[in-house]
A and B are shown apart, each in its own frame.
Chain A
Amino acid sequence: MLKIEGLVTYYGRVRALAGVSLQVARDEIVTLIGSNGAGKSTTLMTISGVLKPTEGSIAFEGRPIAGLAPHEVARLGVVQVPEGRHILRGLTVAENLDLGGFVRSAEKRRTSLARVYELLPRLAERRDQLGGTLSGGEQQMLAIGRALMAQPRLLILDEPSLGLAPRIIEQIFELIRNLNKAGTTILLVEQNAAMALEIADRGYVLETGYIVAEGSAAMLRQNDSVRRAYLGL
């Protein structure tokens, strides 16, 4: 579904990605793990069109998308929930969700909204509250809900567990698993490698801009260097 080959991205003069290749097949959960500064968020931002690659290709369902503007990528069904949630604090919960379906018709937005409220009842309770007044966990729910409003074919999540309590993290991961079961393909970036590898089908390990290991989640869990570096075992 998503096929990335030899991706190279620079920040100014710093090469953040040094030739990243990865694939996501339909209905998979694929996780990208790595330490701070490995290039995980850069990879996602390049997929979403926020950053432009200097080399390499990105294809979504066979269609090249490298170099498209962020809104064009989003309109193809590749929707990202960025790190740090980025809730629009001055807009209400309902308005935040509504913007998630920005390009879709009013009618489709209504149907999706009903589905999101059903999936995340907390958001329905808080629909008229300003986004900035929600708790961290609720904001993450809102960010995911907002992305769902676009009916993504590929949902990209960047550090959904960041700064949340363990109980909330469990809920978030449960939600991700359910979304996947309902037919959404997922690309997940996580610091919490243990949990990510638990729900993922496959994984890639990114270090200083290179993919250093890849394989099924079960295999990566057994990999010695992964265990040492990311699972603390």
Chain B
Amino acid sequence: MNLFFQQLVNGVALGGVYALIAIGFTLIFGVLRLLNMAHGEIYMLGAYLAYLFLTILDLPPFVAVPLALIAIFAISLLVERFAFRPLRNAPHFVPLVSTIAVSTILLEVVRLAFGPYMFGFDSFISTTFVRVGTISIGSSQLMMLLLSVVLTVALQIFLMCSQWGKAIRAVSEDVTVSGLLGINVNRVVGVTFAIGSTLGAVAGILVAMHFGAIYPNMGFVALVKAFTAAILGGMGSVPGAVIGGLMLGIVESLGAAYLPSGFSDAVPYVALFAVLLLRPSGLFKRAGGSDDPSHQGNPHTTGGLLDRILPQRGAQSLAAGVDIAKLIAVAGVVAALAIAPFLGDYALRILITIVVYAMMALGTNVILGLAGQLSLSHAAFFAIGAYSSALLTTHYGLDAWSAMAVGAMLAAAAGALISLVTFRVRGYYLALVTLAFAELVRIIIGHWNSFTGGMMGVRAIPAPRIGPWVIDSPLSFFYLSAVIGVIGLAVYDAIAYSVKGRALIALRDDEVAASASGLGVQRLKIVAFTLSAVFPAIGGSLMAHYYSAITPDLAAMNETVTVLVIAVIGGLGSAAGALFGSVIVNLLPELFRNLGDYRVLAYGVILFVTVLYQPGGVFSISRRLAWRA
């Protein structure tokens, strides 16, 4: 019982901080209708800047902490101005991709500047404990609780009573009308974004003090928690975020005490699924209210007046310009097949990697390019394919082909399952739920030591055979993957131009109209999710056999980001685009070998520049020209 109350106290303190992160997140969602995937990195950056000023520059806390917060405020104003404002009327996945790009860039900058290691973060308040009965409360916990209460109350008063607060509420309801009323919408959005970010940074500093450590990846976990808390309380509601944060903190602390170690990390993800499944509009929202996520996720209803007037930009058709692309792709494949025998092992490895990632990008093309569903589980399907191949061939003596087939089927089943679970969520919600699913898969794979080998992964995966031949040389493996890749591209192309493919595009362009035209929306979504899972699973299987050793990192977030980069750069929806994107992303780092550690940063920048200036992918340049002619 004592343990219970101690964990309850810990949970409340932790929950206060989660509430702070969630408030910032929900506030930004309110004015921008945007799930800010960079919120976690802002939180992380806050802690790092505090570390920089406190420990490295050795400034006193009352200078260092405000300085860090002012810096975050300024940085977020810049981020909003240059990364989000130009995209405010773009189709809904574009700004989201932009936040992913910003998140990657911030993460990599910190990783490069400070190193990927964990740093000790010295608390600047004395560590003492207050004892109440048998329960002890640390000074950092007290501070967490106090600050979160004070900041929340202050924010709520600001929102409800001040003229600025009213303006923020007006902008979050209707951007166009706010402008007509004389509100400087850009300034309100910018400042709100900066306030939300700064609250996140405060939370980052508090958590750093409490746990005494900072590391570059701390942001992602915070993001998932913020999202979960915000969803729990109802997206867009500040009091809801507070209650959601507290609940999450308490459940998590109790989970840490009573669940086997490692699996308590899964608690927020499980909570997220549970809420989205049972009460997608949050625990405290009236059902069918205006904040119903099925409306908020829909790009057609979020921007108010403007969205009705402005046609969706960048909703490119499949037809124009693709033929040239297809010709180049075919020529490229033929050339690669012809010169392969003369290439060294290293070059062949790059070619095989290109095929694997092109397969993954095809999955993205099906689900996002055709069906318009922003699902970010590719890394999970990739890992399911790879682990099925690895485990079935090493432990159960299956041959590589059966294992690949089983892996593809398992991934397809997982895809169908996700589609059923997430049927009611769209747009941004879908993005985070599916991302959380990938994290969940990674946690399970990483902790289920007896079955998956845990963090050590699986080794000695046998090479595939065709009859008497063992495909174990890089050259033969390249030919094998090229054949599979070409089949994949052809299958995708066939799907895209089939009746089903057109139905998926209808689903992308207007779900309501699609269902009114007699298309079974739920069935279509299941088809899309299932298909989109098969491509990465086969890619994962290839990867497992080629490298003969795999680790749970296959399911990591950056794999998903890489694939998204490939699909977006190549031009969403186009088969040839998946190949080009994969070539660009895998070759660029090779061409700039001396980039070394800056590779991932370069991804982030490329992704950012692409969504900002060429949201239709590199090949939309020719398509634009075609339109003008």
Give the B-binding residues of A (Cβ under 8 A). 11-14, 41-42, 45, 48-51, 69-71, 74-75, 79-80, 82-84, 86, 88-91, 95, 98-100, 102-103, 132, 146, 150
A82 to B178, CA, bound (A): 11
* B290 part of interface (Cβ distance < 8 Å): yes
Could you show 7 A-B contacts with beta carbons less than 8 Å apart?
A11-B309, A12-B310, A12-B311, A50-B179, A69-B186, A98-B163, A99-B178
Of B21-29, B77-85, B165-173, B542-550, the one touching chain A: B165-173
Give the A-binding residues of B (Cβ under 8 A). 163, 166-167, 169-170, 173-174, 176-186, 290, 304-306, 309-311, 313, 627
| Given the contacts A12-B311, A98-B166, A99-B170, A74 and B180 also touching, CB distance less than 8 Å | yes
A70 to B176, CA, bound (A): 8
| Given the contacts A11-B309, A12-B313, A82 and B180 also touching, CB distance less than 8 Å | yes
What secondary structure prevails in chain B residues at the interface with A? helix
- Do B181 and A99 touch across chains, with their CB atoms under 8 A apart? yes
B179: chain A residues at CB < 8 Å are 48-50, 69-71, 74
| Given the contacts A11-B311, A12-B310, A150 and B181 also touching, CB distance less than 8 Å | yes
B166: chain A residues at CB < 8 Å are 91, 95, 98-99
Residue from the set A42, A69, A71, A100 with the largest chain B CB neighbour count within 10 Å: A71
Q: Among A41, A45, A71, A82, which residue has its beta carbon within 8 angstroms of that of B185?
A: A71
B177: chain A residues at CB < 8 Å are 82, 86, 88
Nearest-CB residue, chain B, relative to A84: B305
A146: chain B residues at CB < 8 Å are 181
Q: Among A12, A74, A91, which residue has its beta carbon within 8 angstroms of that of B169?
A: A91
Which 3 A-B pairs have CB atoms at the shortest separation, nearest pair first?
A70-B179, A74-B182, A86-B177
B180: chain A residues at CB < 8 Å are 48, 50, 70, 74, 79-80, 82
- Do B176 and A88 touch across chains, with their CB atoms under 8 A apart? no
A176 to B478, CA, bound (A): 76
- Do B167 and A82 touch across chains, with their CB atoms under 8 A apart? no
- Do A102 and B182 touch across chains, with their CB atoms under 8 A apart? yes
- Do B181 and A89 touch across chains, with their CB atoms under 8 A apart? no
A80: chain B residues at CB < 8 Å are 180
| Given the contacts A74-B181, A74-B182, A11 and B163 also touching, CB distance less than 8 Å | no
B304: chain A residues at CB < 8 Å are 86
| Given the contacts A71-B183, A71-B184, A102-B182, A89 and B169 also touching, CB distance less than 8 Å | no
Residue from the set A11, A42, A74, A84 with the largest chain B CB neighbour count within 10 Å: A74
B182: chain A residues at CB < 8 Å are 71, 74-75, 79, 102-103, 150
A164 to B380, CA, bound (A): 53
Residue from the set B169, B179, B180, B183 with the largest chain A CB neighbour count within 10 Å: B180
| Given the contacts A11-B311, A50-B306, A102-B163, A86 and B174 also touching, CB distance less than 8 Å | yes
A97 to B179, CA, bound (A): 15
A48: chain B residues at CB < 8 Å are 179-180
Residue from the set A12, A79, A100 with the largest chain B CB neighbour count within 10 Å: A12
B186: chain A residues at CB < 8 Å are 69
- Do A102 and B167 touch across chains, with their CB atoms under 8 A apart? yes
- Do A13 and B627 touch across chains, with their CB atoms under 8 A apart? yes
A11 to B307, CA, bound (A): 11
Nearest-CB residue, chain B, relative to A86: B177
A14: chain B residues at CB < 8 Å are 311
- Do B290 and A132 touch across chains, with their CB atoms under 8 A apart? yes
B627: chain A residues at CB < 8 Å are 13
Least Cβ–Cβ distance between A82 and chain B, in angstroms: 6
Nearest-CB residue, chain A, relative to B182: A74
Least Cβ–Cβ distance between A139 and chain B, in angstroms: 12
Residue from the set B174, B181, B186 with the largest chain A CB neighbour count within 10 Å: B181
- Do A102 and B181 touch across chains, with their CB atoms under 8 A apart? yes
Least Cβ–Cβ distance between B44 and chain A, in angstroms: 33
B169: chain A residues at CB < 8 Å are 88, 90-91, 95
- Do A91 and B170 touch across chains, with their CB atoms under 8 A apart? yes
6 more contacts with CB within 8 A, not counting A74-B179, A99-B170, are A11-B309, A82-B176, A88-B170, A89-B173, A102-B163, A150-B182
A13 to B313, CA, bound (A): 10
- Do A50 and B311 touch across chains, with their CB atoms under 8 A apart? no
B306: chain A residues at CB < 8 Å are 50
A103: chain B residues at CB < 8 Å are 182
Nearest-CB residue, chain B, relative to A78: B180
Least Cβ–Cβ distance between B175 and chain A, in angstroms: 9
- Do B290 and A99 touch across chains, with their CB atoms under 8 A apart? no
Least Cβ–Cβ distance between A14 and chain B, in angstroms: 7
A13 to B624, CA, bound (A): 11
A98 to B181, CA, bound (A): 10
A80 to B170, CA, bound (A): 16
Least Cβ–Cβ distance between A154 and chain B, in angstroms: 13
Nearest-CB residue, chain A, relative to B163: A102
A75: chain B residues at CB < 8 Å are 182
Residue from the set B186, B290, B309 with the largest chain A CB neighbour count within 10 Å: B309
Least Cβ–Cβ distance between A76 and chain B, in angstroms: 10
Nearest-CB residue, chain B, relative to A96: B170
A14 to B309, CA, bound (A): 12
A88 to B178, CA, bound (A): 9
| Given the contacts A49-B179, A70-B185, A88 and B311 also touching, CB distance less than 8 Å | no
A102 to B173, CA, bound (A): 16
- Do B183 and A99 touch across chains, with their CB atoms under 8 A apart? yes
Least Cβ–Cβ distance between A99 and chain B, in angstroms: 5
Nearest-CB residue, chain B, relative to A49: B179
Least Cβ–Cβ distance between B504 and chain A, in angstroms: 23
- Do A86 and B176 touch across chains, with their CB atoms under 8 A apart? yes
| Given the contacts A12-B313, A50-B179, A84-B305, A91 and B184 also touching, CB distance less than 8 Å | no
A6 to B174, CA, bound (A): 30
Nearest-CB residue, chain B, relative to A149: B181
B309: chain A residues at CB < 8 Å are 11, 41-42, 45, 50-51
A132: chain B residues at CB < 8 Å are 290
A146 to B177, CA, bound (A): 11
Nearest-CB residue, chain B, relative to A98: B166
Nearest-CB residue, chain B, relative to A90: B173
A86: chain B residues at CB < 8 Å are 174, 176-177, 304-305
